[in-house]
Amino acid sequence: MNHADRVLVLDHGTLAAEGAPEAALDEATIARVWGVRSRWLGEPGARAVVAEGKGPSSNSD
């Protein structure tokens, strides 16, 4: 992800993770906050997170 040096991930207004995109948007955080499995694609500096399907989630909307 080359659009930000640092990101904040919020889960219903609570800080769930922060830091470099690859660290804050890791597979476990994405599964916990958004309830989907994911993985990173591409080379450093030109990467993207891809959702792969529903995963475990602690969200209750």
pLDDT of residue 11: 97
Return d(Cα 14, Cα 1) in angstroms, integer: 23
State the DSSP H helix or E strand holding residue 21, giving kind and residue range, or none if neither.
Answer: helix 21-24
Q: What is the pLDDT of residue 50?
A: 87
- pLDDT score, position 2: 65
Whole-number pLDDT of residue 28: 94
d(CA 16, CA 24) in angstroms, rounded, equals 8
What the block records as the tokens of 47 is 């990467």
Helix (H) or strand (E) holding 30: helix 27-34
User: pLDDT averaged over consecutive 10-residue blocks of the chain (61 residues)?
Assistant: 85 96 91 92 83 64 50
